[in-house]
Structures are given as structure tokens and as C-alpha cells.
Amino acid sequence: MTNSPALLLPIVQSILPILVTLGFGYFAAYRKDFDAQQAGVLTRLVMLYALPLELLVSILSTPRGQVLAAGPVAALILLAMVGGYGLIFAILRGLLKRRLGEAALIAMTITGPSVPFIGIPVLGQIFGPASSVPISIASLAMNLVQLPITLILMGHDRGSNHRVGNDSEARNDFRELFGHLIHSCREPVVWVPMMALVLVSAGAFLPQFLKGSLQLLGRTTGGAALFASGVVLFTRQVKFSPLVGVIVSVRNVVIPGIIYALARLWHLPLPALQESVLTMAIPSASINVILAMRYHVLEREIASVLFFGTLSSIFTMAFFIWLTGA
């Protein structure tokens, strides 16, 4: 069990580099060293090369048995990330009448934790080697389910915005959606993790020399994405709004709270409860800002969520660590 005086230390240590890198991007934009267009170039680097390589190495480094043996932890994390994504998307699209791309992006922002940048150091500090199980499950759920679906829906929405509406085109909606599905599957961030999962299932692994070669570029993902996000924070003028407040509250408090209640209701073992709740207490991932920039959807709002959500997670994660007795 983590003692109270040391409770905040691993959280602050993991979040501080994120805030510092965001600050560098913000400062670079303030000095006019970088603008939004140049941040878009960094975004392209991340989406086409750095992130796919990082995903490839991460998935191929995950032992096949770990995910298969996860049991209750996997069930709760998948329920939150996949089931929660579908429910929130349905509410935003069906009840609140949000655009397709906006609904998809908000759903992913709310249900996708920043596992690589915050989860690895925080969960690793608390659970040790056992943290690789919830981290792997959350990474696979995001990269194999949330990200491909979000890319498909945002791509379809952008294509719909650029067409001239008439009755015949409306009848071709399904065909266009299928076309965007094929196009999205050509994106490296979609087909690379899928290929990696097939390779892991077949028992493949990465030799150490090849792993290091791929990680050289793959490890730039976090820094480049956060630096570009910092540029966006300046160019879009980060601002707290009701939408930002709702997204941050649901992401940082409501979702882990629901997972905690379900784990108690189902009488899950304490380690499973702790791992699943704290994984879902991690704030939103920076990849959402990259998607917002790429498709020009809610750029200011999602960048603001990244900033305020990461900052407030110092306290919300500390609360859930205390609540679960981790």
C-alpha cells in the first residue's frame, strides 16, 4: 500500500514532463518559432511514422498470455473503453445532435486514458511488473478499437462536409462510409497495430537489435505530440469552458468512479479493483489533440482538455489511489 506522504510523488513525477513539454511548445509558439502549420508537420510525423512504430514495438513486446489471463481487469477496462465509447458516442450523436466527427472525438477523449505517458510511470510505481497487464489491455483497446473507429468516423464526416448534398448522394452514405473505412485502414496507425496483434497471436517477437532500431523514432511520439499540442495551446488560446469542464470531469472522476462501483458490486479481488480503477483514472491522451489538429475539429477544446485534465489529475488520481488503498 502506498503511504500518504508519498502518494503524490509518482503522479507529479510522471505529469511534470508532460506539462514541461507542453510549456516548451507554448513558448515556441509565443516566440513565433513554430506556428499551427508547422505543428501540423509534427502531427504528420507522429501519425505516419513515430506512433505506428511505437505501437508496433509496444504490442510485440506484450506476452500473449498476459492479456489472455487478465480476466476481470480486462473486462472492466474493455467495458469502460469500448462500451463507454459506444454509449457516449450514442448520447452525443443521438440526443445532443453533435456532428459525427465531434461525437467520435469527444467519445475517445473521455474514454481513452494516457497510458503510455502517465500510466506507465504511475502504475509501474504502484503495482510493479503487474502493471504491464492493465497497460497492455488499455493500449490494445485504444489502438485496435477506439483509434480506428474514430479515424473512420472523422474521415467520413470530413468527406461529408466537402460534398454537395442531394438525394442520390444521401442514398450512397453507406458506400461512402465503406470507402472511408478502406481509406482509414491504409493509415499506418490502424494497420500496424492490427498486424502486430496477428504477429503476437502467432507467437512472433522482436529481436532486441530490431526493437532498438524501431524505438529510435518511435520514442519521439510522446515528445513530438506534446510539443505540437503546446503550440496548439497558444495558437488556439486554451480556455476553460462548460464542454471542457464536462469532459475533464467525466474522464477523471465519473468513469473511474463507475468502474470502482462495478468492481465492488461484482466483489472483484482487490488487486483487480485497484488496477482497473487506477488505469481508468488516468487523464486523456495527447493523441486526441493530434486528431483534432489533423481534422480541424474542436482544436481549442481538446487542447484545453489535455491541459486542464492533466493538471487536475494530480489530485483526482491521488483520490482514487487513496480510495482503492493502492
Q: Assign 3-class secondary structure to the chain.
A: CCCHHHCCHHHHHHHHHHHHHHHHHHHHHHCCCCCHHHHHHHHHHHHHHHHHHHHHHHHHCCCHHHHHCCCHHHHHHHHHHHHHHHHHHHHHHHHCCCCHHHHHHHHHHHHCECHHHHHHHHHHHHHHHHHHHHHHHHHHHHHHHHHHHHHHHHHHHHHHHCCCCCHHHHHCHHHHHHHHHHHHHCCHHHHHHHHHHHHHHCCCCCCHHHHHHHHHHHCHHHHHHHHHHHHHHHHCCCCCCHHHHHHHHHHHHHHHHHHHHHHHHCCCCHHHHHHHHHHHCCCECCHHHHHHHHHCCCHHHHHHHHHHHHHHHHHHHHHHHHHHCC
The answer to whether residue 255 scores a pLDDT higher than 50 is yes
Domain count across the chain: 1
222 pLDDT band (50/70/90 cuts)?
confident
Q: What is the pLDDT of residues 102-143, one digit of tens each?
A: 999 999 999 999 886 677 667 877 777 677 778 778 887 887
Average the pLDDT over 239-255 and give the result: 95
The reported pLDDT for the residue numbered 2 is 52
pLDDT of residue 91: 96
Q: What is the pTM of this model?
A: 0.77
How many Cα atoms within 13 Å fall on the side-chain side of residue 265? 7
- CA–CA dist 252, 259 (Å, integer): 12
**pLDDT above 90 (res 277):** yes
Burial environment of residue 188 by CB neighbours within 10 A (0 to 12, 13 to 18, 19 or more): middle
pLDDT of residue 24: 93
pLDDT tens-digit profile of 28-61? 999 999 987 888 888 788 878 887 888 788 778 7
Residues in the chain: 326
Q: Could you tell me the CATH number of the domain that includes residue 83? A: 1.20.1530.20
**Do the beta carbons of residue 277 and residue 256 sit within 8 Å?**
yes
pLDDT recorded at residue 326: 67
Q: Is 64 within 8 Å of 268 (Cβ atoms)? A: no
Minimal CA–CA distance to 282: which of 246, 306, 266, 262?
Answer: 306
Range of the domain at 40: 4-324
